[in-house]
Structure 1
Amino acid sequence: MAFGIKRKDLVEWKKRIDRGEIAFLTHYWLDDRFPYANTVTKVGCSNLEKLAEWGRGHGLKPEWIHQRADGYSHFDLIGERQAAILQKEGLFETLNLKTRTH
């Protein structure tokens, strides 16, 4: 279940994807399959090869891309991998969202 996301942030994420950029969107999230995680970061791009290449640079496999018919295909990052990638990308503000809930 997703929550704590602002509509304007979702709209901006989609616009960046539409422009062919690598776009990040982090929000609170609960899923019984991942009891250790309370946030997820969706990393999307309309150019799937660009997204796959970005993912390979972070140790992600292209088959992990959640391919969506609406054009907003993305990787889902959770847990330690999420934190490591966000830190590497310099998205410290997003990391604060994650740590505020612990």
Structure 2
Amino acid sequence: MAFGIDRQQLREWKKEVQSGNIAFLTHYWLDDRFPNVNTVTKVGCSDIEKLVKWGKQYGLRREWIHSRDDYPHFDLLGERQVEILKKEQRFEQLSRLKNGKHNS
């Protein structure tokens, strides 16, 4: 279950993804499969090859891309999420993690 974002943020992320840009969206998230994690960052791009190339620099594999809808994306969780956001200098996204657990 996702929460902590508004419709405008989601629309902007979708627009960026559809435009072929690498887009980041961090939000609170609860999933029983990951009890120690309460945030996720979705990194999406409609250009799959561009997304694969971007992910390779962080050790992300093509088969980890969620492509079941019109918004192909990687889900970043835990320490990898924090590490990648820092390297990408996504400070706004990192600020969303301040009050949440981000360990895996």
Scaled to the shorter chain, the TM-score interval is over 0.9
Larger helix proportion of the pair: 1
Q: TM-score, normalised by structure 2?
A: 0.92
* Offset at residue 68 of structure 1 (A): 2.1
Which deviations, in whole Å up to 9, do the C-alpha atoms of 1:54-80 show, x marking residues without a partner?
Answer: 0001110010000123x2010000100
Q: What residue in structure 2 maps to residue 28 of structure 1? A: 28
Which deviations, in whole Å up to 9, do the C-alpha atoms of 1:27-74 show, x marking residues without a partner?
Answer: 0001111111110000000100000110001110010000123x2010
Q: TM-score, normalised by structure 1?
A: 0.94
Structure 1: 4+ residue segments shifted above 2 A: none
User: Which 5+ residue runs of structure 2 have no aligned equivalent?
Assistant: none
Determine if the alignment matches structure 1 residue 51 to structure 2 residue 48. Answer: no
Q: What residue in structure 1 maps to residue 62 of structure 2? A: 62
Aligned residues: 101
User: Which 5+ residue runs of structure 1 have no aligned equivalent?
Assistant: none
Q: Percent identity?
A: 62
Determine if the alignment matches structure 1 residue 81 to structure 2 residue 83. Answer: no
Distance 1:93 1:72 in 2: 21
Distance 1:59 1:7 in 2: 31
